[in-house]
Amino acid sequence: MTAHEHSQRGPVFRLPFFGRRRDPAPEPAPASAYAASTHVHTHTAADRALAALRILTGFIFLWAFLDKTFGLGYSTSSGKGWIQGGSPTSGFLSHVAVGPMASTLRSWAGAWWADWLFMLGLLAVGVAVMAGVALRLSAVAGTAMLALMWIASWPPAMHQSDGSPTRSTNPIVNYHVIYAAALIAVAATGAGATWGLGRLWARLPIVRDHAWLR
């Protein structure tokens, strides 16, 4: 009898451990909170990295405009700036000696319309990208300019028409391609909202109605 009662009591002691009525397992709140905070931190870091890329890329265009306009002595010699009578396109385009558009590009060298389009493009893309506004338009315009520069330099060629080396180090990817990729990246990710005027720009009625202006 005692043994029988003991066998009946046995399961009673195991119910708290193996019974069906269990308390639900606690949620891993600390781990989730850590993951969420990590995600937010990574997102913020990515925003800042893209903003820095945007500002640096825009400054490349803006500096080229300033140097060619005032002849600051870097790529444009002092005294040969645009406002001093120099041509921003003649120095580069007149020496194009390789590629499928070599003769066409040489004919554009020094033309007033080529100078104005080139300089206005540098200024507009540089200011807009640095400010974080009209990034899509800037990416299209900047990529078109860089594509023409890539064709003018023609990296696939190892030798120019006179047999001298082109000093090309890569047949496809040079700095023109990298700059174009940076423009497309900052435009595609809306990088103007961080360290820029992208949010204010997007609130303008005309920009809200025309997404291609963002």
Q: What is the mean pLDDT of each run of 10 residues along the chain (214 residues)?
A: 46 44 51 41 81 98 98 94 96 93 96 98 98 98 98 95 90 97 97 95 95 92
Residue 100 backbone phi and psi in degrees, to 5: -70, -20
Residues paired with residue 159 on neighbouring β-strands, in sequence order:
165
Q: Between vectors from CA 49 to CA 45 and to CA 55, what angle results, nearest 5°?
A: 145
Two structure tokens written together for 126: 């540089």
pLDDT of the residue at 5: 45
pLDDT of the residue at 4: 47
pLDDT of the residue at 207: 95
Are 180 and 143 in contact by the 8 Å Cβ rule? The answer is yes
Burial 162-185 (b: 16+ CB within 10 A, else e): eeeebebeeeeebebbebbebbbe
Element (H, E) at 41: helix 29-70
Helix (H, G, I), strand (E, B) or coil at 122: helix
pLDDT of the residue at 52: 97
Helix (H, G, I), strand (E, B) or coil at 78: coil
Write down how long the chain is.
Answer: 214
pLDDT of the residue at 19: 45
Report how far apart, in Å, the C-alpha atoms of 55 and of each of 135, 151, 187 are.
12, 26, 12
Rg, Å, the chain Cα set: 31
Are 93 and 105 in contact by the 8 Å Cβ rule? The answer is yes
**Contacts of 78-84 spanning 24+ positions with Cβ under 8 A:** 82/115, 82/119
Are 136 and 114 in contact by the 8 Å Cβ rule? The answer is no
pTM of the model: 0.79
pLDDT of the residue at 56: 98
- CA-nearest of 59, 193, 204, 63 to 135 is 193
Helix (H, G, I), strand (E, B) or coil at 159: strand
pLDDT of the residue at 42: 46
pLDDT of the residue at 144: 98
The helix-helix angle for 112-131 and 29-70 (nearest 10°) equals 150
